[in-house]
Amino acid sequence: TDEATREKAFTKILNAGQRAAKITTGMLSYARNHSEQKEPTDLVQLVEEVLVLVEKDMQIHRVNVETRFEGRPAANLNANQVQQVLLNLIINARQAMDGGGRLVVGVLANEEANTAEISVRDSGSGIPADQLQKIFQPFYTTKKADSRGQGGTGLGLSMCREVIEAHQGRIRVESKVGEGTTFTLRFPLALVEGDASSDLRMHLAS
């Protein structure tokens, strides 16, 4: 029946969410213990790998995903760690678009500033200005429980910020109620000599 199908789909999504929560909980400890394991990483490839992981989930929730890539910048990263941060941001964005919406993920090189950026923009409900200063605090969450009682943990963004800062990066957020939210990750550009860019290696979680 339709109800059984919906229940099965919800169970799969819930299980995926629980797995993501476990990954997020261990992420900061992993970052501290392996912060030295960084290498020049193609940010477009990193984003594309993450989008493959969430493709089915986005379809289920009627979220249209767009990409906007300007160049193929590289940054010195532990790709596994930044992948988990990006995954967390995308899951948060999907949860903010109850009933579907539009997700735009971008990669941009700013050579004048010697930085590379990854952005995640949703068309969700937005975050009130008085909450924007709090969202990176541990255990703080803007998510209310949904119709099945599923709310946010408040763990993800605090850990995400610490992981990004461990990469000498920055994370910022812009939001407008009723229009959506944009998270931007900014990293120093990697210095890649000659044709080394073609040999950029990715060690993403399988």
**Could you read off the pLDDT of 128-152 as tens digits, one per residue?**
998 888 888 876 666 554 444 444 4
Bridge partners of 108? Answer: 70, 117
Bridge partners of 176? Answer: 180
CATH architecture of the domain covering 2-194: 2-Layer Sandwich (3.30)
pTM as predicted: 0.73
What 8-state DSSP symbol labels residue 189?
Answer: B
* pLDDT at 37 (0 to 100): 83
Q: Which pair of tokens denotes residue 94?
A: 């999907």
19-45, pLDDT tens digit by residue? 555 555 555 555 555 555 899 999 999
* pLDDT at 108 (0 to 100): 96
Bridge partners of 75? Answer: 41, 189
Helix, strand, coil shares of the chain, percent, nearest 5, are 40, 25, 35
Residue 108 belongs to what H/E stretch? strand 101-110
Coil vs helix vs strand at 129:
helix
Cα 62–Cα 88–Cα 19 angle in degrees, nearest 5? 90
User: What is the rounded average pLDDT of the residues 75-90?
Assistant: 93
Spans of all domains in the chain = 2-194
pLDDT category at 153 given cuts 50, 70, 90 is very low
